[in-house]
Amino acid sequence: MHRDPVTSSDMNNATYSGQPLPELQNYIDGNFSTPAQDKQLTLTDANTGQPLQVRRSSDREQIQSALEAADQLHAQGSFEEMSGVERAELLERVADELAGDDYADIISRADSLTSGAIIRTTRKMAKLLPLVFRGAAAYLRAGHLDKLVPGPCGDVEYLRRPWGPALLIAPWNGPTAIGSHKVASALAAGAPCILKPSEFTPHSAIMMARAIHKAGLPKGAFQLTLGDRTIAGQMVEDPRIKAVSFTGGLSGGRAIARACADDFVPTQLELGGNNQLVVFEDADLDKAATGIAYGLTNLNGQWCRALGRLLVHESVKERLLDKVLSILATIRLGHSLDEESDMGPLVHKGQYDQIQRDLERLTSCGGRLLSATPLPQLPGYFIAPTLVDDCNATDTREEVFGPVAAVHTFKDDSEALVLANGTDLGLAGYVYSENTERAFAFARRMRTGGVKINGYSLLSIGEGTPRSAWGLSGLGEEGHAQSIEFFTGARVIGISPQDLLGGK
């Protein structure tokens, strides 16, 4: 249920559960500053629609200051020329700061309130924050950016050095985990970076800026600019930006790719995924039903690897759906700060309205809505997790970024594979079968970045493995090693033999 939010002139001292939200500030060239009000728009409580803070957006002068500071530091070369051990020590100091002074509590509560993700999930993400910086530091200490390889005339230096200033654009879903991963990776690479968080969930970025400031990183190494996509567009098109890491929607990814194409600026794009979950007739249906419910409810269905299409063998469809609906009936959909809630609201009214339009479109295509989760008596942006049955597969090829998934049946493995590869997106896949040899064989043929078998989880399942995007799901790979190396180019230096003139 939902009611339109009320308006307010200024909520800069907004509180929740008796605690103030972090003040909305930029961090530019080593200094905090307050951006201008953003057209009287407000951040709202996803649970109630009530306003929390007036949104703020960087002006052109602030953006230019951030670009200039990053460019100057890179031109000086001091940050790039630090040894890996020296940069690792800086990252460890950031991690130490983030591990104390209630950072996790402030971040998790702010993220829950603004994004709608339940506090149990945002708390886990916030507590992982120091580990992200420690992981990047460990990668540097292992010497991965400075190696010696054999050459014909002695050892050859194989160095990875930063392209230059990097623009990091983080989304409103998972702002802490995604934002921190980008920041730690860029800093580890020696790339001065500018973080542009989502205008809807900026608080974890502000808290990271505070920790980085206290850790004493060089001015210009990390900067934070608040605002919407228009300020990101200004920075993407600036020639001082030498790499862009973006997580968000397909239209935004396409715009960034076009802006970067002429000058071949490296781009790392993680966009979206209409992720397929395949249930074979020999699957453990209780296990599969749990995975389906998780895929619909984790982060309120608002994450890039959420369930998009359920592909189930026709012989077990009805039994499986009964089990899924039984689980969904036990899901407590409620306030995101309630420790007992299993699922919270959508992030804001625009997202709520979009999901309603998606459901209307699917029902107009013949879809039958299946849902069993009671709605709470709250005026926020709540939508119960919903399966949509009876649609044609051609009508469900596009991603619905919310707690909604289509259901399709198949008769055999060949038909299942056609369905599984039947979209232009390829981020994640899931396979349930008690015959693991069969499951692996099928998963290897799925055109997607990763496939998890007989389980559904938020984090990666293999240490050191990348998160890859295929098709319209993006470009490039993410992970500790992959993301750090994205911000760098190879430089190979060594003594060479002299070939004879004339090719003799």
Q: Phi then psi for 17, rounded to 5 degrees? A: 50, 35
pLDDT tens string 344-403:
999 999 999 999 999 999 999 999 999 999 999 999 999 999 999 999 999 999 999 999
- Whether 11 has a pLDDT exceeding 60, the answer reads no
Question: Residue 488: which region, alpha, beta or left (left: phi > 0; alpha: psi -120 to 50)?
Answer: beta
Residues 6 or more apart whose CB falls under 8 angstroms from that of 275 comprise 295, 305, 306, 307, 308, 309, 425, 427, 428, 429, 430, 448
Q: Are 449 and 479 in contact (CB under 8 A)?
A: no
Q: Phi then psi for 161, rounded to 5 degrees? A: -125, 150
pLDDT tens string 421-478:
999 999 999 999 999 999 999 999 999 999 999 999 987 788 788 999 999 999 999 9
CA separation for the pair 399, 304 (Å, rounded): 9
CA dihedral sign of residues 416, 417, 418, 421: positive
Tokens of 287: 């296990």
Nearest in space to 275 (alpha carbons), one of 251, 326, 310: 310
pLDDT value for 291: 98
Nearest in space to 25 (alpha carbons), one of 266, 225, 265: 225
Segment 288-316 shows an average pLDDT of: 97
Q: Which amino acid is at 387?
A: L
CA separation for the pair 299, 317 (Å, rounded): 26
- 8 — pLDDT class (breaks 50, 70, 90): very low
Q: Are 34 and 48 in contact (CB under 8 A)?
A: no
pLDDT value for 460: 78
Q: Are strands 267-270 and 474-475 parallel, antiparallel or unpaired?
A: antiparallel
CA separation for the pair 28, 72 (Å, rounded): 13
Residues 6 or more apart whose CB falls under 8 angstroms from that of 500 comprise none
**Residue 343, beta-bridge partner list:** 333
How many other CB atoms are there within 10 angstroms of residue 387's CB atom?
23
* DSSP string over 264-285: T--EEEE----EEEEE-TTS-H
CA separation for the pair 363, 497 (Å, rounded): 70
pLDDT value for 227: 95
- 5 — pLDDT class (breaks 50, 70, 90): very low
* Domains of the chain, start order: 15-271 (3.40.605.10), 275-453 (3.40.309.10)
Q: Which amino acid is at 325?
A: L
CA separation for the pair 459, 456 (Å, rounded): 9
CA separation for the pair 199, 57 (Å, rounded): 8
- Whether 503 has a pLDDT exceeding 90, the answer reads no
Q: Which stretches of 113-242 are assigned E, i.e. beta strand?
A: 146-151, 154-162, 166-169, 193-196, 222-224
pLDDT value for 13: 39
